[in-house]
Amino acid sequence: MKRLHKYKIADLTVDVRHNSSVLLRNGMKYADDSSDKADITIEVSEDRILKALEYNKSFDRDYAEYFVSGMDFYRKLIPHYGFMLHSSCVAVDGKGYLFTADSGVGKSTHTSLWREYLGDRAVMINDDKPAIRYIDNKFMVYGTPWSGKSDESSNESAVVSALVFLERGSCFEIEAIPCDRAVERIIPQMLRYIRPENAAIQFDLLDRFLKTVPSYVMKCTQDIESAKSAWEFLSKNF
């Protein structure tokens, strides 16, 4: 029988019935039994675990349950005016910087260089799937337990200050881009689990997000000078 675990994630009470040791480990810092009322309830069926195992042969059963529970959180977050973005988010002085790209481009490497360069000022919010919510006319980014096998996350939040589409390059380059260019790039990183009943909310949320948060395309090398240049450029604009 699956056990009930209660978490506080993105300022929401989340009840999850699960036996996943990965989620149990990653969720420890989010554990919260202070509320009897859940904003989001998740229980992954055996059938969906088996389908996840069939879909990805690299999963074991434990990780499959963890993965599917994250998909459910993503879907159930939308009515709370939130979404999850495939990205690495680092916060500095209460401001969150989202770096998104396809897997393997170097998001984690770049944000780790920010932490190396800025030291304790830089906090890793989430290295894989941070939650973003529109609250009081601003977008907030939060850590979540769905942070991959490395569990690079913290139970912290920050105001989203910039969205950066990361690319590899031979030198540092960055440019601001308009909404029409940003939307083409962000959709593959956030809309994988959209359902018809949530479509209107999510597309309105996306529109607000791209009109509120400045978007950039950045090319960089995988060295600390790129992190320094990125920080100096982005921090000057806020």
Q: Taking the CA atoms of 92, 98, 100 and 103 in sequence, report the sign of the dihedral they define.
A: positive
Q: Do both 75 and 145 map to the same domain?
A: no
**CATH no. for residue 141?**
3.90.228.20
Domain that holds residue 12: 3-80
> What are the residues facing 153 on neighbouring strands?
126
Where among 25, 46, 80 does a domain terminate?
80
Give, for 116, the enclosing helix (H) or strand (E): helix 107-118
Tokens of 18: 């699960």
Q: Which tens digit of pLDDT belongs to each residue from 148-187?
A: 767 889 999 999 999 999 998 888 999 999 999 999 999 9
**Helix or strand holding residue 162 (H, E):** strand 157-168
**64 and 127 belong to one structural domain:** no
36, 54, 80: which is the final residue of a domain? 80
Q: Examine the fold and report which residue of 80, 96, 127 is the final residue of a domain before the chain moves on.
A: 80
**Count of the separate structural domains present in the chain:** 2
Per-residue pLDDT of the chain (238 residues), as tens digits, is 789 999 999 999 999 999 999 999 999 999 999 988 999 999 999 999 999 999 888 999 999 999 999 999 999 999 999 999 999 999 999 999 999 988 888 889 999 999 999 999 999 999 999 999 999 999 999 999 998 767 889 999 999 999 999 998 888 999 999 999 999 999 989 866 667 778 889 889 999 999 999 999 999 888 999 999 999 999 886 5
Q: Determine the 3-state secondary structure of 196 from DSSP.
A: helix
Q: Is 8 exposed, middle or buried (0-12, 13-18, 19+ CB in 10 A)?
A: middle
